[in-house]
Amino acid sequence: MFAAIVGIVVSLVLAEGLVRIGLAWTAPEAPVVPSHVACGDCPWLFEPNLEHPANAGRWADRSPDLLVLGDSVAFGEGVPPEATFAARIGATVRASQGWSTYNELAWLQASDLRPAVVVLVVCLNDITNPRLHWGYTPARFPIPDAAIPNLIDDRERVQPIVREHWRPADAARAGVASPFRALTWGQRKLRGTPALEAHVGRLGAGTVGEYEERTWPTLVTAEDTLDLRVLSDPDSLERSWLTDHLQRFAAEMERRGGRAVVVFAPLAYQLDPAYPFSPQDSLMNWCEGAGMDCVDPLPALRQHGVRDVFQLERSGYFDIWHLTELGHGVVGEVLAHHLPERSTSE
């Protein structure tokens, strides 16, 4: 009996010791794998970290003759790599969340690839000031003036915003997510589109336009109050910046002996058939005058419900930019029909 009691006491002491050791020992934190990395002196500034699990298979080398360049829309944010429109047309992909036409052109100019066709995907938020769109620090990479669509607005409005709201802790954030996202999401509200109305009130006051006594959403990004109608204004600095980059893209492809194709990716609220503002029409007219090969998939996407082709609340935020698998399929079909047609007619 005595031996049994001693055994129980010893067991309890040992158990308590192990518990104390366990409480005192803390497992080391796993290293954070950033979703994006600065690429040193490269002219495109940053790129996806292909070691991040979410980026696996995104920079796929499917074809030496067909390349898709773009931002998170071309990257396939929120859908499997094999479901993207790039995969559906068998294209190699070089795209990244946060890239604009500036980064894409810089990547192409530095690339050794010589595809016969490059499809440049232009999202309407390409004209956003990168100080607000990228989560950057000066130590990570400086932002060249050439990457900023409106230098006057940058100097007079945006840089004061950065100075006021930047926090030292933001420098430690992983990836390239904007430090202004939490600040600006609460300032947005997409109003006037019945299919979206119930889901966007949480975004706060936002960028809207009036037309025939109705209020319509016009924002292009969550990080700023920029209005998509500047893209319809030939005199706006943002429009001039974009068309200049598109001309330089076409010239680069001509120099390489290849074909340049531009795709204008729409925003979800534009699927309302009554939506009154269409910078795509203005840009398509510009393309025709400039002799550029441009594609507008908006009419094809309007054949489907907005919730079927855009991610909306599926992304954990109200996402008017990124396509669902069906949306990628629609754009893939548009491109699959367009590319052979243009090549046979030329």
Domain positions in the chain: 36-181+222-345
| CA distances from residue 209 to 129, 215, 228, 239, 274 in whole angstroms, order as listed | 21, 6, 10, 18, 14
214: helix, strand or coil: strand
169-188 residue pLDDT tens: 544 443 444 333 333 322 33
123-153 residue pLDDT tens: 999 999 988 877 544 546 688 999 999 999 9
pLDDT above 70 as % of the chain: 73
| CA distances from residue 171 to 179, 223, 335 in whole angstroms, order as listed | 9, 18, 40
Per-residue confidence (pLDDT) for residue 33, from 0 to 100: 73
Q: Is-contact 55 81, C-beta < 8 A?
A: no
Across the beta sheet with 117-123, the strand order is 92-95, 66-70, 117-123, 259-265, 293-295
Please compute, for residue 133, the number of CA atoms within 13 A of its CA located in the half-sphere on the CB side: 24
> Long-range contact list for 38-43, CB < 8 A, 24+ apart?
38/140, 38/141, 42/106, 42/110, 43/106, 43/107, 43/109, 43/110
Average pLDDT over residues 280-293: 97
pLDDT at 267 over 60: yes
On the 0-12 / 13-18 / 19+ scale of CB atoms within 10 A, 45 is buried
> Long-range contact list for 19-28, CB < 8 A, 24+ apart?
none
Q: How far apart are the first and last CA of the chain?
A: 100
Average pLDDT over residues 96-122: 95
What six digits make up the tokens of 282? 């203005």
The dotted CATH code for 36-181+222-345 is 3.40.50.1110
Q: Please state, rounded to an integer, the average pLDDT across all residues of the chain.
A: 80
